[in-house]
Amino acid sequence: MATVDSRVPGSGDATARGSVFDSPGYHRARTAVLGALAIIAVAVLLAWPMITDYYSYNAAYYNGLVASAAISAILTISLNLSMGYGGMLSMMHSGLQLAGGYATGYLVVELSGSWLLGIVASVLVGTVVAMLVLLVSLRATYLYFGMITLAANLIVIEIGREWDPVTGGIVGISGISPKLGDEVMSKQAFYYVVLACLALMYVLQRNLVRSGVGRAAMAVRESSDTASAMGISPSRAKLLLFGICGGMAGLSGALYALQLGFINPDVGLLDNGIIFFVGLFLGGISTLIGPIIGVGFIALLVELIKDQARYTTLVLGLLLLIAMMVIPQGIVGTWRSSRMGRDKLPELKEGPLPDEVPDVVPEVRGVPEGTAALEGSGIVKHFGGVHALDGVDIRVMPGTVHGIIGPNGSGKSTLVSCLTRYHRIDAGQVKIFGTEAPATAHGVARGGVTRVFQVPHLFERVSVLDNVLTGMRMQESYSWLGAVLRSPAYRRQDRKERQEARELLAFAGLAGRADWLASSLSHGQKRLLEVVRAVASRPKVLILDEPATGLTSEELDALGRLCRVLRERGLAVVLIEHDVDFVMGLCDELTVLESGKVIERGTPEKVRNSAAVLEAYLGRPDLVEETS
């Protein structure tokens, strides 16, 4: 799932046409200029040791300056992954850097190990510490997670101060140097090591963010309920991402210790972490290049005011304040959302809906005769004194559209939440194709039951296409390492998924919107997109909670057509809906609830004529007659 910054063009007003910024010529020129600037920047960085050697008596100082900025950029990329893409407020990044620094320091100085081994150890230590902290705070919300990481940061510093034999106590460890054979590596050679690490971490971040692994993490950031409905385990997604962030922070700690030759508890102090936060927000959080640009800018600024060093903190504070007030999306985010920086949207191609059903639409065959796709027996759910469900039985057969109707507050959504394990049931049993349903919501999704919520739960800040791709997460077989290394298997699957996602969008009449931000869609299109995303997860049972609300007649047709296709393909579709015409025209069977109890079940014909329904559900037989 890419974010606004990285690839997704435009926002709501992106339809504006006619200005020079929308012309293909401008976009070609912009790409050429940005490409040239990137090449110049890389060339300057690569030639930096030679440049400083030639122009300065103090080459080592200027060399070290850029190396330090690069090390900070690595840590800021890690912070970006955690806070920006993962939505996890981390206040322990300087502590992770410290832990990484200790690992290298101990290995190189105390155990006389190689610096390369030290780096590996630092990455491991950073990963383990981050994962441990995440494990104890799995249920913590954004702010509480932040406070737990703050506590963890203090603990790491304190351990550093007290664990003398390993950390050297208050004094720390000194004499940490990268050696090649018996010789200490030159500053220039080490500069290139740091640069290579930064390039690697940038690529790691980019590949991760653009893969299903990144999309899963961002889905959890947006809504863990929705992510669960896609079969994504929020805990696993967070653990993986924060573990990777910890490894990166550990790496920056190793490089820090190797560059300066020492590590002590002060490195972990939050004061030292401020530069990473300022760099991240100034450059642009949730943007790929933002952390590097932000940190680079600050490094330059700090150097320019070094004669007034006592004002550095004040300047950084003011800079952050101004950035937040003037460019809250940071330099890169602001550029990307400006007319100059925005990508050109493809022309909208609104044609007739394609007739051919895309292959990605799932198919369910070979279910033993009489086996229900989804079955709830004796479901009881109380919220305190409210008896939301009181012994509800429901059997949804494959290859049918099953409607659940009833007046407001009758328990329809609660029933669905119980069947999909979003609610813990007080009594009863849930079965999927005859087998006891898994205990967790994402387990149920993995068992083939996907749910679309009553209140839209789209991933608004990403593209329409990326929303659909997130739905495909369950089918992705590559590992995070495969995604980072862009293995052939990953690239094959990625290509296939993108093609399938576009076909599915076209089938639902959203072809022209694939590259739009989800937030820029109309209400009806959003609802439709949610259904498409759910279909992309290839469910065997699809539950739609009031999907028709706010849809235009064309969108309603597209939704009805999709539901019929799913039924033909053997899926069970569960439909909660107040639009009586839509329900009666589409459903094979209905379950009618009232005050948490089933008052009728059967064909639309039977329900339409049921006295209990006329009386209890509508309370207005005249209305039913009108709609029949």
Ligand X SMILES: Nc1ncnc2c1ncn2[C@@H]1O[C@H](COP(=O)(O)OP(=O)(O)OP(=O)(O)O)[C@@H](O)[C@H]1O
List residues near ligand X by CB under 6 A.
383, 386, 388, 406, 408-414, 454
The length of the chain in residues reads 628
Question: How far, in whole angstroms, is CA 402 from its chain's centroid?
Answer: 32
Give 519's DSSP letter.
G
Residue 501 has φ and ψ, to the nearest 5°, of -65, -40
- Largest distance between two CA atoms of the chain: 96
Q: Quick one: 256 or 422, whose CB is closer to ligand X?
A: 422
Least distance in angstroms from the C-beta of 587 to ligand X: 16
Kind and range of the H or E element at 408? none
Cβ-proximal residues to 244 (8 Å cutoff; 6+ apart), any chain: 81, 127, 204, 208, 480
CB of 596 to ligand X, least distance (A): 7
Q: Tell me whether residue 280 or residue 592 sits nearer to ligand X (CB atom).
A: 592
Contact status, residue 188 vs residue 49, Cβ threshold 8 Å: yes
Is the CA virtual torsion 468, 471, 477, 481 positive or negative? positive
Contact 105, 173 (CB under 8 A): yes
- State the minimum distance, in angstroms, from the CB of residue 449 to ligand X: 18
Query: Which amino acid belongs to residue 311?
Result: Y
Q: Nearer to ligand X by C-beta: 66 or 388?
A: 388
Nearer to ligand X, 144 or 383 (CB): 383
Report in angstroms how near the CB of residue 32 gets to ligand X at its nearest.
54
What residues contact 5, with CB distance under 8 A and at least 6 apart?
284, 286, 287, 288, 290, 329, 332, 333, 336
Least distance (Å) from ligand X to the CB of residue 578? 7
Residue 467 token pair = 């929303």
Cβ 391 to ligand X shortest distance, Å: 15
Beta-bridged to residue 404, according to DSSP, are: 576, 591
Q: In the complex with ligand X, which residue's Cβ is closer, 94 or 413?
A: 413
Query: What are residue 399's DSSP bridge partners?
Result: none
Residue 540 Cβ vs ligand X, minimum distance, rounded to whole Å: 23
3-state secondary structure of 552: coil
**Taking the complex as a whole, how short is the minimal distance between the CB of residue 532 and ligand X, in angstroms?**
23
For residues 381 and 442, which CB has a smaller minimum distance to ligand X in the complex?
Answer: 381
CB contact set of 550 (below 8 Å; sequence gap of 6+): 523, 524, 527
State the Cα–Cα distance between residues 164 and 264, nearest whole angstrom: 11
**Least distance from ligand X to the Cβ atom of residue 421, Å:** 15
Q: What are the distances in angstroms from CA 223 to CA 233, 461, 562?
A: 12, 12, 25
Of the pair 251, 573, the CB lying nearest ligand X is at 573
Q: Specify the residue, 377 or 549, whose C-beta has the smaller distance to ligand X.
A: 549
Identity of the residue, 30 or 387, whose beta carbon is nearer to ligand X in the bound complex: 387
Residue closer to ligand X (CB basis): 72 or 591: 591
Sequence-separated (6 or more) residues with CB below 8 Å from residue 261: 174, 175, 176, 177
- The sign of the torsion formed by the CA atoms of 50, 51, 56, 58 equals negative
Query: Residue 619 Cβ, how far from ligand X at the closest point, in Å?
Result: 15
